[in-house]
Amino acid sequence: MPTAATRRPSHPTRTARGRSRLIAGCVAVTALLGLTACGTASGALRSPSASAPSPGDTPQQPTGTGAATIAPTSGSDAADGSGPSAPAVTPRSKTPAAPAAQTKTTPEQPSADGAPSSPAAPAAPSSPAAPPAHTGPGKVIGSTASGGRTVALTFDDGPGPATGQILDLLAQYHVKATFCEIGQNAAANPALVKRVLAEGHRLCDHSLDHPQPFEKLPHDKAVHEITSARDMIVQAGGPGTQVSWFRAPGGGFNADNEHITASLGMSSLGWSVDPRDWSRPGVPAIVSTVQSQLKPGGVILMHDGGGDRSQTVAALKQLLPWLVAQGYTFDLPAA
């Protein structure tokens, strides 16, 4: 008991000290809690996708445009689009839109002749001999010179073995036709070229060696094909030979070869009736196609070279008297 009485006086002192320490500790805890609460509020403002900051989120607290780069690395942002990645997408998609619109506008500026140029057009000025803008298919002739109830007969790919037979038939009906000759064939058969001219027919350039697709040829190659063929035909025909037209193989006309043709003093010659006699579909098919497709002022495409033309000769034996019976007169293509 005395011992207990002795210890009791010291208890209030320890209790007071303990209370002081407790109060100090509470103050410290309160301050700490306040700081923590502020930190949490700040973190919430910076990162709406997170309820509390964590060490791993520290590098992902971007400001300004940096959010566009960092945000995609966060799985939560990418999943719901509510984090920084969502606003970052809009400026990225819009940023290239402005130059794209400017780029698209540039090729659509009118060219010198008022026609819109294509994106490939800027390459044209690199060649001094490049043609002007294409003015349309109206430059390719597909009608007779006189119009009315007239028809123009044209024969491609010769001269060849069938040329003499066709000339014989034309002479019987006093028909003047146009022969579109391949340069190499003209050089190999100069006697036939001279006969064509002597009997009053006209000549047309049909390229050097009939490459296709002709419209895909580079400019220099097209110049060579057209110019060389014309020179060979003129040489085969002799002094004074005139070549008035150029017919592109397969009808492969474009602005370039039309320009080349015009620069050589020739017109681009097309057609309005094509019985595809070169494919040898049969004499009845050739005849019926011509009869069904022909309109007054038409230009008929047939062949005197390039292979077996016996069907063409046989069809011509039927077509010539039919044309006369239908009241057609024979003319040359327009120039």
The C-alpha angle 94, 100, 106, rounded to 5 degrees, equals 150
Residue 10 is which amino acid?
S
Is position 156 annotated as part of the catalytic site? yes
Which is catalytic among the residues 156, 157, 205, 277? 156
Q: How many CB atoms lie within 10 A of CB 176?
A: 14
Which is catalytic among the residues 205, 303, 304, 331? 303
Residues 242 and 298: their CA atoms lie apart, in Å, by: 23
Q: Cα 320 from chain centroid?
A: 43
Residues in the chain: 335
- Alpha helices, H only, 115-211: 163-172, 183-188, 190-198
Is position 303 annotated as part of the catalytic site? yes
Q: To the nearest 10°, the Cα dihedral for 245, 251, 257, 263? A: 10
Under 8 Å between Cβ of 229 and 183:
yes
Q: How many CB atoms lie within 10 A of CB 120?
A: 8
Active site residue ranges:
156, 303
